[in-house]
Amino acid sequence: MVTDNKQVSGKRKEAIARATLRPGTGIIRINSMIVANYTPVYAKQKIMQPLNIAKEFCDVSKIDIRVTVSGGGFMGQAGAIANAIARGLVEYTGSEDLHATYLKADRTLIAGDHRQTEVHKPGQSSKGPRHQRQKSYR
């Protein structure tokens, strides 16, 4: 196991998370807030998913994780945090088995989401890529 600090980033939609992993006592902080106090609960479950998977491969209670996240909504931020933590744990431990397990369980934990915003079509309003003006015949 590598014992120096590892810095990784994760993205989801408009959210960007930067995680720092280092040896410690298992404290996980998100924007200076302990993960146990993080709300909503479903977002916290999404964040804990890579940690629960990693328990089989390494001792997560000996790794401190500090995450800074900005942009997007709360679920986009949760996805970005999970992405950063999963990438960081793979880099920190150097385990190919952990990497393969993440890809098997949920590919977006490592690879991210490949979808991109659709291009706005010419002559349309700025409301969306497929938005058209309403027509009235009366």
pLDDT digits (tens, 9 = 90+) for 118-138: 888 887 777 888 888 888 886
CB 5, CB 21: distance < 8 Å: yes
The whole-angstrom separation of Cα 101 and Cα 97 is 6
Structure tokens at 11: 């993205």
pLDDT above 90 covers a percentage of the chain that reads 74
Q: What class is the 6-111 domain?
A: alpha beta
Better-scored residue on pLDDT, 46 or 117 = 46
pLDDT score of 90: 95
Could you tell me which of 62, 56, 34, 61 has the C-alpha nearest to residue 47? 34
Q: Which residue has the higher pLDDT, 123 or 63?
A: 63
Which residue would you say has higher pLDDT here, 102 or 138?
A: 102
Task: List pLDDT tens digits, range 15-43.
Answer: 999 999 999 999 999 999 999 999 899 99
Residue (of 113, 41, 124, 107) closest to 80 by Cα position: 113
Residue 4 has a pLDDT of 79
The ranges assigned to domains in the chain are 6-111
User: Mean pLDDT, the chain, as a whole number?
Assistant: 91
Q: 65: which strand partners?
A: 21, 28
Per-residue pLDDT, 91? 94
Place of tokens 């014992």: 3
Average pLDDT of the segment spanning 99-115: 92
